[in-house]
Every structure is written in C-alpha cells, then in structure tokens.
Structure 1
Amino acid sequence: MDETRQQENPSAHRSFHTEEHAPGKGSGRKVSRQEKNPPPGTVAESDSRRGEEYAKESDEEGRRETGRRGRSQRPSGTKDAEAFTGVDPQDPSGQPRNG
C-alpha cells in the first residue's frame, strides 16, 4: 500500500492567510460618471402571476395537498394514478380509468 501524505501547496497557504501575503488595500475603485446616474428608462414590472397564485386557483385531479412540512414549511402533496402522464401509469385501485 502506498504511503498517504498531503502534498505541499504553498499557494493554498497564501490564499487563506491574506493578511500575511497580500498587499494592503488600495484607495478603492473609482465610480464612473455613468454609474453615478440611474439607468435610463423605467423599472420593469412583471405581468404574470407567481406560481403560488396559480396553485391557489387550480384543483388538479389526482393531486392532494398534505400540508406544510419541515423547518422551511414548504407546501407538500401527493398524486394519484390519474395525475401521472406516462405511457402506462399504474392504477393501484385496479379500476379501469376513464380516458
């Protein structure tokens, strides 16, 4: 078995110890004349709605909400066989589906 060792990497030390190896801060960047003024035109506003707004309106067949989950409290849900769009979705109930 080969000996396990870490290779020397002096650039890594310089990268993480900038106070020792980097020059001091300069006077900073000069803001250009164009940057001092706001851009021409108006602020663009979206004409469309957010996904949450669509979800509140729609009651898709085969989908059920299961409440909010986890620390983030994101909405969650499940779907039945009729919500699957594959070539041969499996219906767990064994009942023929209307199509």
Structure 2
Amino acid sequence: MAAVRELVAAGQLRCSLTSTFPLFRREVEQYVESHPPIDGRAGQLSPTAASKILGCSVSTVRRMARADRIPCDRDARGRFWFREDHLIMYQRARAAALALDSHPR
C-alpha cells in the first residue's frame, strides 16, 4: 500500500476521487494495451456470414457454436462471432471425416 501512495504522490498514479473504487491511469492504460476492444470485431464474422461459408442456416450455426462444435467468440451481449480461418478449418476437417467414412473397409 505504501508503494501505491508513493506512486500517487509522485504523480505516476492518479486516483479518481468520484469513483467507488480507486482508478489508476497507468494500470488502465496497461490493461487497454493488453486487451484490445472486443466490439471492434475486425476480421470476425457474424452468424449470418458464417452460415454462408458453411452452407447451412443461421440457426444451425448458432446451435453448433453453443455445442462447441465450431470455434467462436461471444461478446458481452452474448452474440457469436466467428473467424473465417476457423470455419475453413472446420470445413476441411468435416470433409476429411466424411471421406474416411465413405471408404469401404
């Protein structure tokens, strides 16, 4: 605790007096740098776009995501987001599994 007081006194940490919990700028900046914004969704696809790649309905995509059959991220509102490379890997794995099943033994 004394180290924190020293940093505040030196001006390296600033406490927000109106917040319920102390807020220190340096820690917040470090957190922001190490955790990019989730809602940016750069490079991620919606369930509608994923359904077009996979060739199935949007409800099937959501059902597979809920069952952890396809990799996805969920945002704070519970929406599913997919990466195209993950969907392509899923398609390749599924095609390989179907090819193995169709070979006579």
- The normalised TM-score by structure 2 is 0.25
Greater per-residue strand proportion:
1
Larger radius of gyration: 1
Q: TM-score, normalised by structure 1?
A: 0.26
